[in-house]
Amino acid sequence: MAPPRLPSLPRVYNDDDLHEVPFTSLPAYGSGLYKRPITFVPATPEPSADAPTTTIEAQASDEPPELTFAERYLAIVLKNTPKPTAEEEKKFPICDVCKSPITEATPSAHHISFAHQYSLPVRHTPSAMDRNRMGLKYLEKYGFDIDERKGLGAARDGILFPIIPKAKLNQHGIGVKDVEEKVEEKKPNKLDAGKAKKQYEKEKKKDEQLRKLFYGDDKVEKYLNELGG
């Protein structure tokens, strides 16, 4: 036996949570959040009107001079190396090549230092051109030096390397560039019904001959010819 059904109660709606304000009039998201104000610090203190100018000039004169980026970098990297004084620099001789004081114990140690090696002229590798070439010998006869890395001519402002030859594969004149060759388009031959039938029979005979050459057997053909004869 089914249990008795309870009477349904009327539904009660609570309209307190419903918004009657239109969507366009609602405040923006996050408008009610508290924002901490940002206090900006000026780069240099602004002088007040009551402060005398003499004190500001005295403070500016007492401040050390601003260092460049290179000086700051060297101060960080080479902070443990003591700087030689002016009197100590006068004691050391000045190198004629790098114009820096020779503070090393021996001259050979100064010659391999970075400052001295950087001041030396760059030595280029000798040219790989064959020295037995007749053209090079002719130029050297008139004072040309291939390892000097200077161009041809009296002012030495010509070309430094020989011209690379290229094969000329056409019959055009010198200086002609991008000559377009006119290609005549062949029009297809239109065949009527009779010519098309003859061409089909010709191709069919050709296919039969090729088939006999590649796949035919002489003994079988001889036997078939005897039966047919």
The residues of the chain scoring below 50 in pLDDT are none
Burial class (CB within 10 angstroms; exposed 0-12, middle 13-18, buried 19+) of 134: exposed
Query: Bridge-partner residues for 94, per DSSP?
Result: 101
> For residues 105 and 111, is the Cβ–Cβ distance under 8 A?
no
What's residue 12's pLDDT?
A: 63
What's residue 201's pLDDT?
A: 93
CA neighbor of 162 nearest in space, from 151, 147, 153? 151
CA neighbor of 84 nearest in space, from 102, 96, 71, 68? 102
- Tokens 């539904």 map to which residue? 11
Element (H, E) at 200: helix 193-215
| Percentages (nearest 5) of helix, strand, coil residues in the chain | 35, 0, 60
CB proximity list for 118: less than 8 A, separation 6 or greater: 98
Can you give the pTM of this predicted structure?
0.26
What's residue 167's pLDDT?
A: 84
> For residues 101 and 93, is the Cβ–Cβ distance under 8 A?
yes
Query: Domain spans of the chain?
Result: 87-121
